[in-house]
Amino acid sequence: MVATPIGNLGDVTHRALQTLASVDVVAAEDTRVTGGLLQHFGIKARLVAMHAHNERGGAQRVIEWIREGKSVAFCSDAGTPAVSDPGAVVVDAVRAAGLRVFPVPGPSALTAALSASGIEADGVVFAGFLPARGAQRKERLAALAAGPWAIALFEAPHRVSQTLGDLHAALGERDVVIAREITKKFETIARVPLAGARAWVDADDDRRRGEFVLVVEGRPVEHVSAIEPRVLLATLLAEVPLKQAVALAVKITGGKRNELYQIALDTKK
């Protein structure tokens, strides 16, 4: 599993180049993207497309290649494979077949954004890409709002404005770091209050271009633990199913599941 640059080719690691040059097959999310990278560094390799639509079947091909004695490298378009990108299915299948998987670490938009965010947190929840719309999106936002941790997520340019508005509605008054085009020419990293974040990106068309990582500051644990369980469960039950509400309440309060489940049942009635 080979991490590749997220924008600046200078970020590629020596080990990544050595690996890509030495393997028998390079399985790539997009052969055009990875092919351009290989060409830039003068690497000739057998490229095979392996993306979200053919990954499950492609995993079996990888297993067959390895059993034949071949070595295989997997690359997503940019960054670390399997982090909101294809790769996890291949890894799981290869391991299940009793074969070995090696990470070749390197660039990651997630860790890059966290390191430059300036947001202090005891823990960070990585939410990937939020569901685009509907009940699933609402439930995910409610679950994120219930926790005390900082939140990191990816977003596309055509949805970033709406997402910032939804985050403010769900999370309230917190700061968000908007990291855009990390490591690229027009890299922008700005910390703004969630209340004004949507207006900030809407004020300039350039602020809505590129790929985004959003990092929202967490809520102090002591503020959450002071919430009375019935109040917390009533809030959660208005947004998510009963079992999910109870599971979240257990994590947040540290209370006993059976007791919280009974409170939830009473509240539901």
Residue 192 is predicted with a pLDDT of: 96
Identify whether the C-beta of residue 248 lies closer than 8 Å to the C-beta of residue 141. no
* Neighbouring-strand partners of residue 70: none
Give the confidence band of 221 by pLDDT, cuts at 50, 70, 90. low
**Average pLDDT score, the chain:** 93
138 and 174 within one domain: yes
DSSP-assigned letters across all residues of 81-136: TTSSSTTHHHHHHHHHTT-----B----HHHHHHHHH----S-EEEEEEPPSSHHH
Give the confidence band of 148 by pLDDT, cuts at 50, 70, 90. confident
Distance CA 251, CA 249 (A): 5
Going by C-alpha positions, the residue among 78, 64, 2, 77 that lies closest to residue 32 is 77
212 and 128 within one domain: yes
What is the value of pTM for the model shown?
0.78
Q: How far is residue 105 from each of residues 14, 18, 19, 129, measured CA to CA in Å? A: 11, 13, 11, 22
In a domain, 146, yes or no: yes
- Give the CATH number for residue 156: 3.30.950.10
Residue 133 is predicted with a pLDDT of: 85
User: What is the count of structural domains for the chain?
Assistant: 3
* Neighbouring-strand partners of residue 192: 176
State CA 208 to chain mean position distance: 19
Give residue 255's domain range: 227-268
Residue 223 is predicted with a pLDDT of: 46
In a domain, 91, yes or no: yes
Identify whether the C-beta of residue 86 lies closer than 8 Å to the C-beta of residue 78. no
133 and 185 within one domain: yes
Residues sharing a CB contact under 8 Å with residue 149, sequence separation 6 or more, in sequence order: 121, 122, 123, 124, 125, 218
131 and 188 within one domain: yes
143 and 125 within one domain: yes
In a domain, 133, yes or no: yes
Apex 209 CA angle, 203 and 214, nearest 5: 85
Domain boundary among 48, 69, 96: 96
In a domain, 105, yes or no: no
